[in-house]
Amino acid sequence: MHRACLAICLNAVLAVACVLAGTGAGAAFEAEARKFYPAPNAPPGAPAQTGAPAAPDAAGRALRIISTADLDAFEPIILGFQAENPDIAVDYTIASTSQLMRAIHDEGAVFDLAISSAMDLQTKLANDGFAQAYRSGATDALPQWARWRNQVFAFTQEPAVLILSESAFAGIAIPRNREELIALLRDNPARFRGRIGTYDVRVSGFGYLMATQDSRNAEAYWRLMEVMGRLEARLYCCSGDMIRDVADGRLALAYNVLGSYASARIAENAPGVRIVQLNDFVNVMLRTVTIPAGARHVDSAHKMVDFLVTLGQRPELAARSGLPPIDDRVLRANNAMRPIRLGPGLLVYLDSQKRRNFLRSWTSSLVQE
């Protein structure tokens, strides 16, 4: 699972052309991939093959989703949704967190749902008037921390974890918290130089969210970044690439990787890769869905929102997608798990001055000129 990073890059040019054609002249956001899922009860003349290019009339009737979730993760959910709603076609576009924000917030691209791992950017969309309100029995059943203003709804809870190569840690203790990780890296520079991975927060919206949350939760964060910088840490756009490089032995460890992606890759075939949830705290990202203000197929969007927020009622589907559904019991069982709270607090580091200051400090600590 989650091999999409490489495949996405290879198909980017074609995918961008498709998306630009579908969102109007002048649109400039960059898409990574696009796939059309015809309605199982499609009328005559609609595309008969999943993934085939959609005819204009068929695409116009489809539920249009822009999402940061890889196809490996989200396709089972789309097919499960269509099994319960066989009259709804789905037009699914994948974009990075920053490009999704650009599409909806800056360019007014027409989509019926926006799904993202960047909770702060989703909150900004709602706060700036780019999301519709919706309320149902399914959304009301979410914990209070998993919804905001009936506009932003969480449907997964995904911890940010440390992943490591067991062979690289032969003969040394595995760190249990950030202080132990700092000490380990300082004491073993030869072992870890050039073999540490983390997000490039200048280009990754999710990475930026995790970094700002870390800085709020731990005084050790900046010391950890400085140590990683001295050891020539490698910077990445996405979890999938870090997981691949740990599995292939190019990295000894990767910091702040999405645990759901790591679990899926290990289950697929990544022997020797270990997931570590540090016991000082674990930031838990909530993958969220919003209905953009310009949505055209609102009824279908409502049905998908209800389907997503009740993912926990379909454990087999959740297992196939590899996306852990909202489950308050899991969080109560581990005091180190800290779900990132939806709400205006997430907007603090989106302030332009605060963002510049944070990125200046981060670059100074981590990037070797």
Show me where the domains of the chain are located.
4-157+286-334, 159-283+346-366
Q: Quick one: how far is CA 262 from the chain centroid?
A: 13
- Assign 51 a pLDDT band (cuts: 50, 70, 90): low
Architecture of domain 159-283+346-366: 3-Layer(aba) Sandwich (3.40)
- Torsion over CA: 354, 356, 359, 363 (sign): negative
Which two tokens mark 35? 């796939």
* Residue given tokens 């990544």 in the structure block: 270
* Mean predicted lDDT score pLDDT of the chain: 88
| pLDDT for residue 325 is more than 60 | yes
Report DSSP state, residue 249: T
Which two tokens mark 357? 């200051």
Cβ(348)–Cβ(357) below 8 Å:
no
- Torsion over CA: 203, 204, 205, 209 (sign): negative
Beta strands 196-199; 273-276: pairing state: unpaired
Architecture of domain 4-157+286-334: 3-Layer(aba) Sandwich (3.40)
pTM (2 d.p.): 0.83
Q: Rounded mean pLDDT of 246-274?
A: 85
Which two tokens mark 16? 């961008």
| pLDDT for residue 5 is more than 80 | no
As a whole number of angstroms, the distance between CA 251 and CA 196 comes to 6
As a whole number of angstroms, the distance between CA 102 and CA 16 comes to 14
The pLDDT value given to residue 58: 54
- Assign 1 a pLDDT band (cuts: 50, 70, 90): very low
* pLDDT cut 70: percent of the chain above it: 86
The pLDDT value given to residue 16: 39
As a whole number of angstroms, the distance between CA 29 and CA 47 comes to 26
In 3-state terms, what secondary structure has residue 158? strand
The model's pLDDT over 93-127, given as tens digits with 9 standing for 90+, comes to 999 888 999 999 999 999 999 999 999 999 999 99
As a whole number of angstroms, the distance between CA 66 and CA 96 comes to 10
The model's pLDDT over 289-303, given as tens digits with 9 standing for 90+, comes to 999 999 999 999 999
Contacts of 261 (CB under 8 A, 6+ apart): 2, 73, 239, 240, 243, 322
Cβ(50)–Cβ(37) below 8 Å:
yes
Domains 4-157+286-334 and 159-283+346-366 fall in the same CATH topology: yes
Residue type, 347: L
The pLDDT value given to residue 261: 80
